[in-house]
Amino acid sequence: MRSAFEVRCNADDQPFSGDELRTALAEADALCATVSDHIPAAVFPDAPRCRIIANFGVGVNHIDLAVARAKGVAVTNTPDVLTECTADLAMALILMSARRAGEGERMLRGGQWRGWRPTEMLGARVWGQTLGIVGMGRIGIALARRAHHGFGMRILCFSRSPVPVSVLGGLPAEQIDSLEALLPEVDFLSLHCPANAESHHLLNVARLALMRPTAHLINTSRGGVVDEQALADALSSSAIAGAGLDVYAAEPQVSEALLRLPNVVLLPHLGSATEATREAMGFRALENLKAFFAGKAPRDLCH
């Protein structure tokens, strides 16, 4: 970025406060933001100098897109380059939750392991089970590929609009008409829908109650898609068997109710956290900025 622009870095990597973001939008021609930079309407100055927010990440729910549009600020994101790594992490969470990997590691490190026993830490089989995917976009499809071809899983999916068969690339994924019809059918449910007003608390008390008591919920999308208190209640009452989470409603805070439970795997938003992917995200943001300031349409324009 320094080779193409005059860059001011957020050197200590602390999320900017509202005031710092307002100053950046008022003084810089472009802002390269991350998921930790909350940019609601109140943060936009009346007449921003900033003409583009090049988000370093695919999700843009932390930015008020309508206000950005109204103020003439373009917003871009970094799709594609994080698809495979995020799908890897969702698969890791399925395995960790089913096989109680977090619990087992805590027990071993805590010095409580007494050796192999026939009934110790029995988990659930992943091979051949049914996986439900909510949001059959790039990451949902990448997870479905892994689960079907690698783990012999049956794939059921639900998306806001039906996914054209050509997009599924030969995957035998059965599209289900409603979330209510999907939930009772799956052993694992993985969320891959964008966070917006429609998907807020999509997994609530009523819908969690439709899941099997043996089922596991996996979330690598956004925390707000799940009602965390309802999930904690479902896990503590054994209404569902387990969960694997990478995202939270109020990051970096994680609710005490979840932290106390043994049957939930909690990761710190690691979906795209590989060296290769984070580099690719950076280059994609740079490409968007260069195109914009060369007077071309950036390839990842969100509006």
Q: Nearest approach, Cβ of 55 to ligand DGY (angstroms)?
A: 8
CA atoms within 13 Å, Cβ hemisphere of 282:
9
Q: Nearest approach, Cβ of 35 to ligand DGY (angstroms)?
A: 5
241 vs 244 by CB, closer to ligand DGY: 244
Q: Is 120 a catalytic residue?
A: no
Distance CA 94, CA 154 (A): 14
Q: Is 222 a catalytic residue?
A: yes
Containing 293, the helix (H) or strand (E) segment is: helix 275-293
Three-state DSSP state, 258? helix
State which amino acid sits at residue 269. H
Distance CA 266, CA 254 (A): 9
> Residue 58 interacts with ligand DGY (CB under 6 A)?
yes
> Residue 147 interacts with ligand DGY (CB under 6 A)?
no
- Furthest-apart CA atoms within the chain: distance in Å: 68
Q: Nearest approach, Cβ of 274 to ligand DGY (angstroms)?
A: 11
Q: Nearest approach, Cβ of 91 to ligand DGY (angstroms)?
A: 16
Q: Nearest approach, Cβ of 78 to ligand DGY (angstroms)?
A: 7
Query: From the candidates 145, 222, 228, 284, which is the catalytic residue?
Result: 222
Distance CA 223, CA 11 (A): 27
| Sequence-distant (≥ 6) Cβ neighbours of residue 221 within 8 angstroms | 59, 135, 191, 192, 193, 194, 195, 247
Distance CA 174, CA 190 (A): 15
From 40-48, 55-63, 120-128, 207-215, span contacting ligand DGY (CB under 6 A): 55-63
> Residue 59 interacts with ligand DGY (CB under 6 A)?
yes
> Residue 193 interacts with ligand DGY (CB under 6 A)?
no
> Residue 57 interacts with ligand DGY (CB under 6 A)?
yes
> Residue 223 interacts with ligand DGY (CB under 6 A)?
no
Mask 271-290, x = binds ligand DGY (CB under 6 A)? xx------------------
Residues in binding contact with ligand DGY, number by CB under 6 A: 7
> Residue 82 interacts with ligand DGY (CB under 6 A)?
yes
Contact by Cβ (8 Å): 192, 218: no
Burial class from Cβ neighbours inside 10 Å (0-12, 13-18, 19+) for residue 15 reads: middle
From 38-46, 53-61, 176-184, 185-193, span contacting ligand DGY (CB under 6 A): 53-61
Residues taking part in catalysis: 222, 251, 269
Binding site for ligand DGY (CB under 6 A): 35, 57-59, 82, 271-272
